[in-house]
Chain A
Amino acid sequence: MKENTKYHNYRFVGKINVDEIQPWFDFATSKPWDDPEIPWILDNKVRREILIILATGPKTFQQIYENLNFSPKPLLITKEEYDCQISFQWTKETIENHLMNLEWYSLIKLRNNIFELTIPILSTEDSEKLENYIIKFTENWITIISQLKIEVQKKLVNLNEKTHLLEILIEKAIEKLYILLKKENLIPDTPNLKVLWAEQLRKIKFEEWIKQNF
Chain B
Amino acid sequence: MSKPEYPEEILGSLEEYNIDIRDFLPGHGKGAKLLLDFNKISGLEQVEGVILKGREIENGIVADIIIKEGTKIEDPVHLCFGVNKEKGIQEIFPRIIAEDNTEVTVQAHCSFPKANGLIHKMFGHFYIGKNCNFTYSETHYHGENSGALVAPVGYIYVGENSIFENNFNLTRGTPGMVKIMIDIYAMKNSVIKSNIRAFGKCKKDSIRIRDSVFLEGENARSIIKMKAAAKDGGEVLMYGITEGNAPRCNGHVECSEIVLGKGSICRARPFIRAIDPTSSVSHEASLGRFPQKWLDELQAKGLTEEEATQILIEAMLQEE
Contact = CB atoms under 8 A, between A and B. Distances in A.
B66 A76 contact: no
Given A40-B273, A76-B54, 15 more contacts: A43-B243, A45-B183, A46-B214, A74-B64, A74-B97, A75-B64, A75-B93, A76-B53, A76-B63, A82-B51, A86-B129, A90-B216, A93-B247, A94-B245, A213-B62
A4 B37 CA distance: 64
A85 interface: yes
Interface string A87-121: 01011011001101100000000000000000000
B276 interface: yes
Q: How large is the interface on B (under 10, 10 to 19, 20 to 34, 35 or more residues)?
A: 35 or more
In order of increasing CB-CB distance, the 9 nearest A-B pairs are: A74-B64, A72-B127, A76-B53, A76-B64, A97-B275, A94-B246, A77-B64, A86-B129, A94-B216
Contacts of A214: 62
Given A40-B273, A91-B217, A85 B245 contact: no
Contacts of B157: 72, 88
B217 to A, nearest CB: 6
A97 B275 CA distance: 7
For the residues of B in contact with A, the DSSP-based class is: strand
A46 B217 CA distance: 12
Given A74-B64, A91-B217, A85 B99 contact: yes
Interface residues of A, number: 26
A74 B125 CA distance: 10
Nearest to B126: A72
Given A72-B97, A98-B275, A88 B245 contact: no
A181 interface: no
A97 B276 contact: yes
Contact of B69 (A74, A81, A85, A93): A85
A163 interface: no
B40 interface: no
B212 interface: yes
